[in-house]
Amino acid sequence: MSAAEIILYFFESIAGLSAIALIFVRNVFYGALLMVICLLSIAGLYVLMFAEFIAVTQILVYAGGILVVIIFGIMLTSRISGKPLVVEHTRLFEGLLCGIAFFGLLVYTLTAHKFDSGIFADGLSHQSIQRIGVLIMSEYALPFEVAGILLLIALIGSAVIASVTKSKQP
């Protein structure tokens, strides 16, 4: 077994274990931290597959941006209510049934599809990264800006929720 395979299995096991632990955790803050661990390990898998641009995007957008807003909102919510957010696990059988059905659908889809390496047969070159950057700033500029505005609105909304003072009782 080579060092690359050991690192691959390490990142896969960390991603899988954190995703499974995310199912069973009751505290929302700990769930968000487990989600960060899962997303960072998936970024490590992207690095092993020579998709550095996708790995950096994974870290910046998901682990760095969206989850910071989620953790910020959770911390503000617990500060306002005075108690930590706790999730009650109800409908365990139905959730397990849906999870098994979606897992079966995923396995069926992955085994039925023939994957082709396509443009990445020779590895990720400098021109393809440059092409991705040009596409983001030209053809996909609107979705890129909408995502940024959505994150800004979420951050402003959480700040407004945190700054609301209690109204005086007459």
pLDDT digits (tens, 9 = 90+) for 53-65: 888 888 888 777 7
Residue 168 lies in a domain: no
Q: Which of 26, 155, 33, 22 is nearest to 88 (CA)?
A: 26
How many CB atoms lie under 10 A from the CB of residue 130?
Answer: 10
Percent of the chain residues topping a pLDDT of 70: 76
Q: Please, which residues bridge with residue 86 across strands?
A: 27
In Å, how far are 3, 47, 143, 151 from 52, measured between CA atoms?
Answer: 19, 5, 22, 24
Joined tokens for residue 71: 């953790």
110 within a domain of the structure (yes/no): yes
Residue 40 belongs to domain with CATH number: 1.20.120.1200
Q: Domain count of the chain?
A: 1
Between CA 57 and CA 79 the distance in angstroms is 31
Query: Tens-digit pLDDT profile for the chain (170 aa)?
Result: 888 889 999 999 999 999 999 888 877 778 888 888 998 999 999 998 888 888 888 888 877 776 777 777 676 666 656 666 566 667 888 888 998 999 999 899 888 887 665 544 455 555 677 787 788 888 888 888 888 888 788 777 777 776 655 544 45
Q: Domain residues for 24? A: 3-163
Q: Helix (H, G, I), strand (E, B), or coil: what is residue 86?
A: strand
Question: Considering the domain boundaries, does residue 169 fall inside one?
Answer: no
Assess if residue 170 is contained within a domain: no
Residue 157 placed within a domain: yes
Rounded Cα distance between 84 and 78, Å, is 5
83 residue type, one letter:
K
